[in-house]
Amino acid sequence: MLNFVRSTPTGPPHRPTPRLPGLIALWYWRWRSRRQLACMDDRMLRDIGLGPRGRVHEARKPFWRP
C-alpha cells in the first residue's frame, strides 16, 4: 500500500503522496476494522490468533496509524 519507498537519482528516498479519496477509504477501513475487533469475543480472537491484549492494543490505535 503506502509502505514502499522509491529513490530518485538526484535526491533522497521519498514516499509518493497518496491520493485523497484512497487515503480516506484506507482510514475508514482501519476505523471500521478496529471497531469490529473491539467487539470480538475471546473465541473469535483465538480464531484470528490474537489475544485480549493484542485486541486492546490494536483497537486503541487511531485510524491514521497503520
How many structural domains are present in the chain? Answer: 1
Q: Give dist(CA 23, CA 29) in Å, integer.
A: 10
In a domain, 7, yes or no: no
In a domain, residue 36? The reply is yes
Q: How many CB atoms are closer than 10 A to CB 29? A: 11
In a domain, 8, yes or no: no
CB 38 within 8 A of CB 63: no
Range of the domain at 52: 24-66
pLDDT digits (tens, 9 = 90+) for 36-52: 999 999 999 999 999 98
The pLDDT value given to residue 62: 94
Cβ pair 18, 39 in contact under 8 A:
no
Task: Give me the phi and psi of 40, to 5 degrees please.
Answer: -75, 145
Query: Is residue 18 in some structural domain?
Result: no
Query: In the chain, what's the furthest Cα-to-Cα distance?
Result: 53
pTM: 0.64
